[in-house]
Structure 1
Amino acid sequence: MPNLILATDSYKQSHFLQYPPEARVISAYAEARRNEFSDHVVFLGLQPYLIDYLSKPVTAADIDEAEAVCAAHGVPFNRQGWTAVLTDHGGYLPLEFKALPEGMVVPAGVPLLQVENTDERMPWLTTFIETALLRALWYPTTVATVSWMCKAVIRAGLEKTSDDPEGQLPFKLHDFGARGVSSGESAALGGMAHLVNFMGTDTMEALMAARRYYGADMAGFSIPAAEHSTMTSWGRAREAAAYENMLDTFEGEGRLVAVVSDSYDLDAAVRGIWGGTLKDKVLSRKGTLVVRPDSGDPIETPLRTVKSLWEAFGGTVNGKGYKVLDPHVRVIQGDGMTLQSIEKLVDRMVEEGFSIDNIAFGMGGGLLQRINRDTMRFALKADALKDADGIWRDVAKKPATDPGKASKAGRQAVILEGGTLTAARLDDIDPAKDLLKPVWRNGELLIRHSFDEVRARANG
């Protein structure tokens, strides 16, 4: 929404009338509450929100538009408050954010950030931004966490079966999710979140997001690849010619080309064309052919393809005793890949004696879309109120019907205790030990993380 005043839930327009009269400052924190999906989260997304949303001041036209919309919509409008934001703060929201460094791997249940109003006339402002802020946090953080969890599974397989696990790892999971998300902004933020962990992507909006928000010159890479339309347009009788055209067109030292091979009969294509008609051409090339199955069982089909390529092209047995295909051929499986199916496919490859060097994985909807705010139970909750006497009072919820939704009381801090990040009350610790550092105040970005820094933290 271009109008920041309307980028919220309708009921928040009435909250300026609901806080107690003595309220001067409201403090709130955001976290991924403890959940069944992951014990840790990879924190990402605050910086894009600050740059795209809070760096644009509210205007008189925004206020007029919001007042008209609220009147027609049936909710109150705080014209006096928003006019003060405009006249006294130049349209920038008088808020301060303290946050952990982005890219940090954080235990669930530990605050990622804390925010409070800096103008004591506006205690209502802190939680007014909850809607847009939570969207900015939960989505890229959840995608980054899914990708990070996949990385742990793939790394474990590589460490067991590869002579060069760290060299192989950066390009083992490729993002194919752009067409399966709800918007271009989702593709950009979610695709960028994946690139915190890996360097392979076909989501070009992600490249631009990493450049715009974190200064990355080029955060991800891809290769020439076929789709069914470019293969089937040759007709079934010329399937081999379509494949040969790919080999000839994208020839080059060290160059990879991916060819979807299931348009008609995957097994026949692998054995009869790649391992038959075009075998000599494949072996004479300076680059690598990546065969892509795109249908069938997502575990057994790619495994069968690897076996067929081994029978046709052979390979070597590496130092860990696992088979590695001739370097002219590899496989990528992008259909049906999720965290769970990747784990199963890795296990099956290991069982059959094949190194994970032989295969790469692609994810689409399973990476960028099959998640929601409740996947890791994201929430923003008020934790303290500063009254007219300057005294901080605890604010918290503790519902008897769901103790798991209880919130933290008192201004929050994050400390390193016994090597583990832990939530603490700010009033109970030495403030110098608080890892929540000011990153934004009254329209000014105080810390700007680079994409290299974010990656280093996530992979540290």
Structure 2
Amino acid sequence: MTNPILATDSYKQSHFLQYPPEARTISAYVEARPGPFSDEALFLGLQTYLIDYLGRPVTAADIDEAEAICAAHGVPFNRAGWAAVVADHGGFLPLEIKALPEGTIVPTGVPMVQVENTDDRMPWLTTFVETALLRAVWYPTTVATLSWKCKAIIRAGLEQTSDDPAGQLPFKLHDFGARGVSSGESAGLGGMAHLVNFAGTDTLEGLMAARRYYGADMPGFSIPAAEHSTMTSWGRERESAAYANMLDRFDGEGAIVAVVSDSYDLDKAVAEIWGGALREKVLARKGTLVVRPDSGDPVETPVRTLKTLWDRFGGTVNGKGYRLLDPHVRVIQGDGMNIDSIARLVERVTAEGFAIDNIAFGMGGGLLQLVNRDTLRFAMKANALRDDQGVWRDVSKTPLTDPGKGSKAGRQAVVREGGRLVARRLDATAAGEDLLVPVWRNGELLVRHDFETVRARSEGRA
């Protein structure tokens, strides 16, 4: 699945025959349309598409393969057009792509990307790339936005209850989603998107994507942690020995180890093993034990665990009046976590008088898989046509059956008004005011974002 001519919807193979004969350039834009999920989106992922997809030239072998597939599949094939791409452009698609800086928080309804063909013979090319381009942008942007919204909830809880909210926040939401996605590429793009907001992950593909596409050094971190197989393999009668082994194997100054503790009876494990038989061993360590419930009610179970740990290990009251467990023990809740249950758990922990410092959150498939293109209502739509006289004409749709799916007419610009990004027609925008800047032209990457700048931008620091 590496032939760029086939990285599109079947019907697009026939579109070179459908544009009006006077068409020379087609302009199209990408946006997240207004909807119930979020009023803003954290833009991310275009650079991966430019490097991996547009950065690979079309070859004669690609043309031959695509022609044979299309003939057997029952759709027309534009052999002359693709042959011109190879002969006249070295196989690189003659396109200019303008975009906002990645990491920007973009209001819905404001274009993030705008595309035009640069060869007058190929107006069909702009929308031909819609499938791969939209796919490359909507998924990491949506995951990054979901993670960013969770970050806002957790930050609010920390600001209310913690003496060190900024120091606590980066590791408060951990990505466990690698096994729950549809592909390794999804794990990479989604895992990378989460790392814009947080530094905790078990999705190694996300690390590698951030390093490959955005030059990150080491954007995420993890710790030794138990799974049920490593605990239950000891047998129920040796549950305490399994836990003791974890403490012994992963000890040291500042060492953190997470142990799943619900293989048999969570409440008994917390009260009688961690808080009983192994209590002194836990307190003698130089690091921190993180107890992980993995079943039961996703809000009440971790709160009950916090209470038992407080009873067995005690702690202090911080400067904001909230209880902080002894530094040798903490809790992580990953089972059943989503944006709604995280909000309820933050509220519940706070209501019980505990600081959010005491607990970390994890998300798996809910972070990387339970999103789709309609979560942020992403679309790519043609907005202008330049004809054979050099005149730009508006292109748009206004469906009476769903006005919310109407599209923008005319080439677009994005400007800042009153501190907020808004869309404006390009022909009504002063030179230098448009924040959509060329990032790709005819096979050349013009702007390369680095990961730390993307992170800073998402936080309003760049």
What TM-score results when the alignment is normalised by the length of structure 1?
1.00
Cα distance per residue 1:222-249 (max 9 Å; x no partner): 0000000000000000000000000000
1:375 Cα deviation after fit = 0.4
Residue in structure 2 matched with residue 36 of structure 1 by the alignment? 36
Distance, in Å, in 2 between the alignment partners of 1:131 and 1:441 is 19
The aligned amino acid for 1:356 is I
Cα distance per residue 1:165-219 (max 9 Å; x no partner): 0000000000000000000000000000000000000000001000000000111
The aligned amino acid for 2:247 is L
Does residue 221 of structure 1 match 2:201?
A: no
The aligned amino acid for 1:236 is R
Q: Secondary structure at the match of 1:382?
A: strand
Does residue 27 of structure 1 match 2:44?
A: no
Does residue 445 of structure 1 match 2:445?
A: yes
Residue in structure 2 matched with residue 314 of structure 1 by the alignment? 314
Does residue 137 of structure 1 match 2:137?
A: yes
Distance, in Å, in 2 between the alignment partners of 1:148 and 1:291 is 25
Cα distance per residue 1:12-63 (max 9 Å; x no partner): 0000000000000000000000010000000001000000000000000000
The aligned amino acid for 2:261 is S
What TM-score results when the alignment is normalised by the length of structure 2?
0.99
The aligned amino acid for 1:23 is A
Residue in structure 1 matched with residue 248 of structure 2 by the alignment? 248
Distance, in Å, in 1 between the alignment partners of 2:82 and 2:178 is 37
Distance, in Å, in 1 between the alignment partners of 2:298 and 2:92 is 50
Q: Secondary structure at the match of 1:303?
A: helix
Does residue 97 of structure 1 match 2:97?
A: yes
Residue in structure 1 matched with residue 150 of structure 2 by the alignment? 150
Residue in structure 2 matched with residue 425 of structure 1 by the alignment? 425
Q: Secondary structure at the match of 1:433?
A: coil
Residue in structure 2 matched with residue 76 of structure 1 by the alignment? 76
Give the alignment's Cα RMSD to 1 decimal: 0.4
Distance, in Å, in 1 between the alignment partners of 2:413 and 2:308 is 56
Distance, in Å, in 1 between the alignment partners of 2:429 and 2:26 is 20
Distance, in Å, in 2 between the alignment partners of 1:360 and 1:350 is 13
The aligned amino acid for 2:249 is T
Q: Secondary structure at the match of 1:115?
A: strand
1:459 Cα deviation after fit = 1.3
Distance, in Å, in 2 between the alignment partners of 1:292 and 1:406 is 48
Residue in structure 2 matched with residue 325 of structure 1 by the alignment? 325
Distance, in Å, in 1 between the alignment partners of 2:166 and 2:109 is 31
1:431 Cα deviation after fit = 2.8
Distance, in Å, in 2 between the alignment partners of 1:288 and 1:42 is 34
Cα distance per residue 1:81-108 (max 9 Å; x no partner): 0000000000000000000000000000
Residue in structure 1 matched with residue 162 of structure 2 by the alignment? 162
1:286 Cα deviation after fit = 0.1
The aligned amino acid for 1:238 is R
Which segments of structure 1 move beyond 6 Å, counting only runs of 4 or more? none
1:325 Cα deviation after fit = 0.2
Residue in structure 1 matched with residue 304 of structure 2 by the alignment? 304
The aligned amino acid for 2:313 is F
Q: Any residues of structure 2 matched to 1:5-404 within 5 Å, and which?
A: 5-404=5-404
Distance, in Å, in 1 between the alignment partners of 2:224 and 2:332 is 13
Residue in structure 2 matched with residue 3 of structure 1 by the alignment? 3
Cα distance per residue 1:336-386 (max 9 Å; x no partner): 000000000000011100000000000001100001000000000000000
Task: Give the count of matched residue pairs.
Answer: 460
Distance, in Å, in 1 between the alignment partners of 2:252 and 2:97 is 50
The aligned amino acid for 1:304 is R
Distance, in Å, in 2 between the alignment partners of 1:419 and 1:171 is 30
Unaligned runs of 5+ in 2: none
The aligned amino acid for 1:237 is E
Unaligned runs of 5+ in 1: none
Distance, in Å, in 1 between the alignment partners of 2:343 and 2:151 is 10
Distance, in Å, in 2 between the alignment partners of 1:429 and 1:86 is 36
Distance, in Å, in 1 between the alignment partners of 2:359 and 2:427 is 52
Distance, in Å, in 2 between the alignment partners of 1:216 and 1:417 is 32
The aligned amino acid for 1:396 is S
Residue in structure 1 matched with residue 456 of structure 2 by the alignment? 456
Q: Secondary structure at the match of 2:414?
A: strand
Q: Secondary structure at the match of 1:374?
A: coil
